[in-house]
Each structure stands twice: as structure tokens, then as C-alpha cells.
Amino acid sequence: MPMLSAVLSSLPGPQRLGRVRDLLDAGADDVLAQELIALGTANEDSWRYDDSMVLRHLEALPARRRHALIIAIGDRASAPAAVCELLRVIARDLDPDEMPWPAARHLIGAASAQTSGLARDLDVLAVVAERETGTVPPGLIAVMRRTVHYRHDPTLLLPWIAKDDGLLNAGEPWAETADADPEARPMLAHALRVTGPRPLVRWSREARELDLPAGWRLRIHRWFSLVPQPRTIGFRRFDYIDADEHIDAYNATVLRGLLFLLAVTEPVPGDAEAVGALAEYAATKVRGQGARDMVVANAAILTLELIGTEEALDELVRLRGARLQPGMISRVVRATSRCRAALGRP
């Protein structure tokens, strides 16, 4: 049997497809799964050039063979994030009526580790999940929301999102903590209604009229303190960017709304410190992109300006000395000047 002693990732690119064909002909799916995972580790799950021919061949296999291979890969992968693209391509255009739950479960784990996905693929997985468990997993709902947020066609995804009771995306400790608090729903729902870079007059008035639970500001302070915590659902890694270093794009819009909720209501001690810490975290440069999250950073800087207390000014002054992006520092400088003027400080 030719080439069975070779290891896929050690072969020159043009020879890899032959190795895959030999393993498939031999029925050695377990060995093939292990070697595909190793190759995915070597190429960072980016299947280009000769490696793309490997995926094209796997994608053309009969559905049952692909189901078995998906299960074998999923069972052996160190984490779903390590095999996202590999599994996504193998599963392309599979029929949900024929997909076994063990295969779908691995595919859902891989999809949940993507920052966004293809609507049809996510819809197929939701159909299988609902059939098998009666619900759609939070991680799958989260990638659906992010996909819609990034302006992909929402037609297939919005009905699934509407069925979900949660308001925030799973995967971040702060969001999971906030979403688990039933008393927090009014403020989270109102935070979601913010659509621009500044709080509008009507939104601000309605914010002040909300019937919020005792200690709601302290809850927001605690959620802000949890934002830097490691993700509970790791994202797929790229050679130029670590998505785990970013804030979930959908959840970032909620953080913006919560910041504005503090900005348009009467401040209390601790507001400025909590907002300033979040501003520094969001405005810090991360690899592959500028500030960690521009939406949150800009909203936090504006919130400090709108709070307008001596403590808020102190935080803005502190941020001027932090290691931020040059563009973010200029925003801090302008906000500091306006806050200083409002306080009558030279």
C-alpha cells in the first residue's frame, strides 16, 4: 500500500493529495484525521495552494464518509478553534436531514469559534441542533449575531436569533454574567438600542426613566471589570491576528450602551474609575489591528467627558499617559480639554 508510512504535513505540497487518496482508499479515516489535524496546525488552518486541493477532494466525498471524517477529526482535535476551516469545508452543502448529531456537534463547536460564518452553513447546524436537542446552542447564536452584525444577509439567521432568550453573546465572562441576571434585562435591552457614537436625546430621556434595580451601577462596574477576562469560547487563530484579544463585536455595542447609561444619569463615586479602566483596555493596541475595540474605546472616552467630574478628569489625564494608539491619544487630549473647560479648570 503506497505512502502509508508518510506523514501528510511532512510531504511536499504536490504529494499531499496523493497521500490523502491512499489513506481514504485504505479506509484509514482515523489516521487521516490525525494527519489532517497536524497539517492544519502547520498551516494555521489556512488551506491555500496545494492544501486547498486536499480540501476540495474531501469536500467531494459522499456525505456518510464526510460525516465519519468530521467525527474523527472533532474527536481528536485539541480544540474546535484549531480545525474551524478544515471542518467547515468538509461539511459544505451537507443535508441537515442526513447529518448525525455527533458530526453536527463538532461542526457547531467549530462554527462557534469563528468571528462570523456563512448563513447557509449556520442555518443547517441550527436545524440539526433544534431537531436533536430542542434548542440552538448559545455559541451558535453568538456567531449568527456576529455574522448579521458584519452585514451578511440576515434572512436565514434572524428567525433563529429571535428564538433565543439571551440578549448577549456567549463566550465572554462579563456578557455571560450579565445575561444570567434577570434584573439586568431592562438596562441591557436599552443598551442594545444605541445605534450611534453618541447617546441621543430621546434615548437618554428613556434611560433616566428606566426602573432599574438597586445597585445597578455597581453591577455595571463589575461587568466592566470582567471584560479583560479570557474568553470562554476561544476564537480561531490567524497568522496575523489573535481574535481572542478583541471584544466580541456584538457585545461591544452593548458595552457602548451601558457606558452611555452611566453617562446620562447622575454619576456616583467609582463610575470614572470603572469607565477609565475599560477605556484603557479597549484603546490598547493589539496585534493585527489598532485599538482593541474602537467602538468601546470611543464610547468610554466620551463617557468620561460627559460624566464631567473631577474623578473623570483625573482618569482622562491618566489615559493621556497610557500606551494607547496615537489616534486614541488625540481623542483623549480633546476630551480632557473639554472636560477641564466644563469644570472651570485652567
3-state secondary structure 190-218: HHHCCCCCCCCHHHHHHHHHCCCCCCHHH
- pLDDT at res. 6: 53
Where among 163, 185, 217 does a domain terminate? 163
What is the dihedral angle through the alpha carbons of 174, 176, 178, 182, rounded to the nearest 10 degrees?
-170
Same domain, 206 and 116: no
The pLDDT mean for the chain works out to 94
pLDDT at residue 290 is higher than 70: yes
In a domain, 2, yes or no: no
Same domain, 199 and 294: yes
In the chain, the number of structural domains is 2
- pLDDT at res. 151: 87
Where among 140, 163, 186 does a domain terminate? 163
pLDDT above 70 coverage of the chain, percent: 98
Cα separation, 207 vs 260, whole angstroms: 9
pLDDT at residue 4 is higher than 50: no
- pLDDT at res. 22: 93
Same domain, 89 and 225: no
Same domain, 212 and 129: no
Cα separation, 266 vs 3, whole angstroms: 72
* 195 φ/ψ angles, rounded to the nearest 5 degrees: -125, -5
In a domain, 194, yes or no: yes
Same domain, 13 and 157: yes
Same domain, 317 and 184: yes
Same domain, 330 and 205: yes
Same domain, 58 and 138: yes
Where among 163, 186, 203 does a domain terminate? 163
Same domain, 289 and 328: yes
Q: What is the mean pLDDT of residues 146-157?
A: 94
Radius of gyration from C-alpha coordinates of the chain: 24
Domain span at residue 142 reads 8-163
- Measure CA 159 to chain center: 20
Cα separation, 110 vs 40, whole angstroms: 13
What would the pLDDT profile of 92-108 be if each residue is shown by its tens digit? 999 999 999 999 999 99
Q: What is the mean pLDDT of residues 245-271?
A: 97
Range with the poorest average pLDDT among 121-125, 220-224, 234-238: 234-238
pLDDT above 90 coverage of the chain, percent: 86
- pLDDT at res. 2: 43
Same domain, 68 and 103: yes
- pLDDT at res. 289: 84
Q: What is the mean pLDDT of residues 203-215?
A: 96
Q: What is the mean pLDDT of residues 270-288?
A: 95
In a domain, 234, yes or no: yes
Same domain, 179 and 149: no
- pLDDT at res. 105: 98
What would the pLDDT profile of 72-84 be if each residue is shown by its tens digit? 999 999 999 999 9
